[in-house]
Structure 1
Amino acid sequence: MRLDERPSLLRRRATRPVTTPPRRLRHPLFSEVRGGSAGWIALVVCVAEALYMADKADYWQGSWSETRQYLHTTAVLLLGPFTAAAGCWQGARERRSRMAELRASGARGEFAQFLVVAVPVALAAVVGHAVVVTGSHLATWPYAPGGRPIFAPVAADLVLLAGVAVIGTVVGRLAPWRLAAPALAAATYLLLAFLADVDSSARFLSPAADDGFRVEPVWWQPPAMMAWIGGLAVAAALAHTLRPRWSWVAVVPLAAAVAAAVPMARTGEDMWQLPAHAREQVCDDSRPRVCVEAEKKDLLPQVSAALSGITGRLKGVDHLPDRFQLPQLYYGQNVVRGGLAEPEQFAWEAASMLLPDCENRPDEHLHDAVRDWLVSNDLSDSRRESWEQRAREGGDRQSLENARAEARVRSRLTSMDEDRRRAWLGRYFAATRACSGKVPAL
């Protein structure tokens, strides 16, 4: 090529059009999730539930069953009404902005446009609840002595939140009332709570229905609840969005919902059972033996230590019960984060339950004195002093006389030699366990 031909070649290359690959258009759903109100809904769900769970942490942190139950109750009665209201508010946005006619003339079908509105709300509620579920289980992990986490009920709660978001969106697109969202939230709460309390088999169709904190659902209950709630939500969405000649398709999810509801209503309370770790017990080798549920086996050393003063004073005594009848270990009360909250109070209550509750006790002050002598801790002393002070200030002579009689019994028990004390306590427990009323003289 000659040198005089190069400028023309460069001009042809410069004038050649530059082609760029066409940009792939994203589905409007992505824009709704990223730039719409979904992020704010997820934040509100997460913060509201996290604040409630943090406020009740003493009652669930340390037990998998308690954690599951508190998360379930919060999802149903707190997040359920809110999510329904959020879906209703989002469903009515075209009407508020006077764009309903423009939406109806859009290129996308009615069902696709419905998904663009409903899915972000459902996804936001699911993500917000899932974050709190994860954090709550991580907070429980260091303190849970036994049992195991189960996640099938969590999946059922997630389906519930998605379902009420879809149903709320349908209501929002149909109801012209501006206060439809708060009204739907109130109606959702009342429906869930009322249905769970009705005296019929229909109450077991409410997600709020449960049979207690210590029970677990049978394996098929969470999937059945998911089919029940999910079927109703899908049926409502299809009936609202499909053309009249295709509206019969909504019968399919509705039939699936009814098929799931029938066994739940017929089974009733048997859908929840006490797990094996709640039925079994572990015991120490003291006498009387100290036993706790297998789920709380890590608490046994603390419970045994709290009662060591009582078991030490009862060493060698005959006619004792085989095991202690202990106060129930409740999370948030006498158990907090895997530890015994008030050991002295627990010992005082256990000593009270060690003595049978018989009618017609002629010497009530004797039984109280034996209990206080067995406990012999600071709490017992402070309670006794408080009662005496209150009786003295109120001029209650009978109570003061009983307090003096109890003091004489405690002094007598303390001054006796061990053999005589063990023999007397043996006769005492033999008489009290038989409720004969013939307590041996001290």
Structure 2
Amino acid sequence: MSVPSLVRRRTARPATPLGRRPRHPVFAEVRGGSARWVALAVCVVEALTMAAKADFWQGSWAETRYQLHIGAAMLCGPLVAAAGCWQGAREHRSRMTGLRASASRSEFTQFLVVSLPVALAVVVAHTVIAALSFLATWPYVSGGRPIFVPVAADLTVLVSATVIGAVVGRLVPWRLTAPALALAVYLLLGFTDDASPVRFLSPAADNGFGDQGPVWWQPLTMIVWTGGLAAAVVCAHTFRPRWSWCAVVPLAAAAIAAAVPMVRVGEGMWPAHTRTEVCDNTTTPRVCVDAEYKGLLPQVSAALSGMTGRLKGVHPLPDRLPLPPFFVGQNVVRGELADPERFVWETGAALVRECDDGPDAYLHYAVQDWLVSNDLAESRRKADEEQARDWGDRRGLAESRATAHALSRLTSMGEDRRRVWLNRYFAAGPSCDFSKVPAL
């Protein structure tokens, strides 16, 4: 009969399954640290910003990119800088700086464990919002294509702000450093001298709205510029003194490869894109729109059908109607004309040349109102007359009455006689000499 041992040997279980290496501490930071809250904050801020201005970017790839850029730079830039600063100062808050200094891991590795989870959270959050924004734009655009390199540049800016904030948090372990840094970054981005070419180095600089867009190398230089500065700061902070000279390499790349061309080219980094048009050739004058808005052509042609019908047989006329520009969020919302009557009125105003405010002004207003012939034209004419009457403007009141009389005469004319009169009117337009146009 065997005697049981008084000391039982406990079998040691491996911390990880056999054949697997232990996970890097970064994974634990991502799952249990502040990274997930930073990602949530970035998502909420950008989502609210994009949702508040949805009318101004849905329907245009360029406007979507522009709104994403402004939201990332002006709002999330200070936010992630403060988040990185707070994360970088956590050892000071927990009084574990001595333990960190005695650890076997290098300073650079320890810095990555602190800053990388927050940087990854920022990347994931902005990528998700950018992808959702482009998907929300896709159903309403009819031309053009999205460009994603500027989104990569914005991601680099956010990551750079995060890691630089982490360095500041390590160097200045003050509880108010994070909000102070956020305020400083916001002021630095928002208040730049518009007369200085140095302003183009700001990550918030972007003239690429409307029909403008960045040249192919502008986002790449912004990546080199902001990424180089962040890499130089991290290298100078984490490398040993004898290796700190390595910070010169990314700093030189940022200054020479990025800063110099950005300062010298300036506003030329956002040129107007080459216009290509699609036209409705069944009308005279033709109705043409930018190829980016080719899906609007049927709507525009239908809205202007009354005007083009009234101009049938009238000469001379321009080859195409002078349409007002499309502004997403104003006269175009989600691929639709927001106010077709106003669009027609503005087209009529551009077609009928007002040479001066002289005695022929009422004639131009009468021709415009007859060509437009919608409720907006009538309401504006009545509002002008009432305003002139209320203000005691005798000249304005006389002009309003003359316009109404001329419009009545033009409307009551026979079709052939009116066509002859319009021919003489438009023939006198280029010279602004309406003395030979029969009075109405």
Whether TM exceeds 0.5 here: the answer is yes
Opposite residue 170 of structure 1, the aligned amino acid is: V
Q: What is the aligned counterpart of 2:36 among 15, 39, 43?
A: 39
2:199 corresponds in structure 1 to 203
Indicate if the aligned counterparts of 1:81 and 1:186 stay in contact, CA closer than 8 A: yes
Indicate if the aligned counterparts of 2:353 and 2:364 stay in contact, CA closer than 8 A: no
Deviation at 1:20, TM superposition (A): 4.0
2:167 corresponds in structure 1 to 170
Deviation at 1:342, TM superposition (A): 0.3
1:3 corresponds in structure 2 to none
Cα pair distance change 1:264/1:397, threshold 3 Å: closer
Deviation at 1:189, TM superposition (A): 1.9
1:263 corresponds in structure 2 to 261
SS where residue 216 of structure 1 aligns? coil
Per-residue CA deviations over 1:407-433 (Å, capped at 9, x if unaligned) read 221221122111110000110111123
The 5 A counterparts of 1:83-102 are: 83-102=80-99
Deviation at 1:227, TM superposition (A): 1.4
Segments of 5+ residues of structure 1 without an aligned counterpart are 1-6
Deviation at 1:228, TM superposition (A): 1.3
Deviation at 1:113, TM superposition (A): 1.1
Task: Answer with 326-335 or 357-366: which moved more.
Answer: 357-366
TM-score (norm 1): 0.92
Per-residue CA deviations over 1:198-238 (Å, capped at 9, x if unaligned) read 43332222222223313222222222211111111111111
1:28 corresponds in structure 2 to 25
Report percent identity of matched pairs: 64
Indicate if the aligned counterparts of 1:91 and 1:168 stay in contact, CA closer than 8 A: yes
Per-residue CA deviations over 1:133-183 (Å, capped at 9, x if unaligned) read 011000000001111000011001101111110100011111133221111
Per-residue CA deviations over 1:365-410 (Å, capped at 9, x if unaligned) read 2211111111111111222233333444445454443333222212
Opposite residue 301 of structure 1, the aligned amino acid is: P
Deviation at 1:192, TM superposition (A): 2.4
Deviation at 1:19, TM superposition (A): 6.1
The 5 A counterparts of 1:283-362 are: 283-285=279-281, 286-359=283-356, 361-362=358-359
Task: Answer with 363-372 or 199-208: which moved more.
Answer: 199-208
Structure-1 separation of matches of 2:398 and 2:195 = 52
Structure-2 separation of matches of 1:92 and 1:18 = 41
Deviation at 1:347, TM superposition (A): 0.6
Greater share of helix residues, 1 or 2?
1
Opposite residue 339 of structure 2, the aligned amino acid is: E
Cα pair distance change 1:16/1:89, threshold 3 Å: closer
2:153 corresponds in structure 1 to 156
Opposite residue 350 of structure 2, the aligned amino acid is: M
Cα pair distance change 1:155/1:18, threshold 3 Å: same
1:232 corresponds in structure 2 to 229
Structure-1 separation of matches of 2:319 and 2:431 = 15
Structure-2 separation of matches of 1:50 and 1:433 = 51
- How large is the RMSD of aligned CA atoms in angstroms? 2.1
1:364 aligns with 2:361: yes
SS where residue 291 of structure 1 aligns? strand
Task: Answer with 342-351 or 218-227: which moved more.
Answer: 218-227
1:280 corresponds in structure 2 to 276
Structure-2 separation of matches of 1:395 and 1:191 = 52
Indicate if the aligned counterparts of 1:360 and 1:437 stay in contact, CA closer than 8 A: no
Structure-1 separation of matches of 2:381 and 2:33 = 65
Structure-2 separation of matches of 1:335 and 1:360 = 31
1:119 corresponds in structure 2 to 116
Cα pair distance change 1:392/1:17, threshold 3 Å: closer
1:414 corresponds in structure 2 to 411
Deviation at 1:83, TM superposition (A): 0.7
SS where residue 53 of structure 1 aligns? helix
Per-residue CA deviations over 1:231-286 (Å, capped at 9, x if unaligned) read 1111111111111112112222222212322232233333333333xx11222122
Cα pair distance change 1:228/1:345, threshold 3 Å: same
Deviation at 1:339, TM superposition (A): 0.5
1:376 corresponds in structure 2 to 373
The 5 A counterparts of 1:65-84 are: 65-84=62-81
Indicate if the aligned counterparts of 2:425 and 2:434 stay in contact, CA closer than 8 A: no
**Count of matched residue positions in the alignment of Structure 1 and Structure 2:** 429
Structure-1 separation of matches of 2:400 and 2:249 = 75
Task: Answer with 386-395 or 316-325: which moved more.
Answer: 386-395
Deviation at 1:352, TM superposition (A): 0.8
2:103 corresponds in structure 1 to 106
Opposite residue 71 of structure 2, the aligned amino acid is: T
Task: Answer with 200-209 or 61-70: which moved more.
Answer: 200-209
Cα pair distance change 1:388/1:28, threshold 3 Å: same
SS where residue 228 of structure 1 aligns? helix
Cα pair distance change 1:402/1:275, threshold 3 Å: closer
Indicate if the aligned counterparts of 1:92 and 1:172 stay in contact, CA closer than 8 A: yes
SS where residue 363 of structure 2 aligns? helix
Cα pair distance change 1:178/1:330, threshold 3 Å: same
Indicate if the aligned counterparts of 1:225 and 1:260 stay in contact, CA closer than 8 A: no
Indicate if the aligned counterparts of 1:355 and 1:433 stay in contact, CA closer than 8 A: no
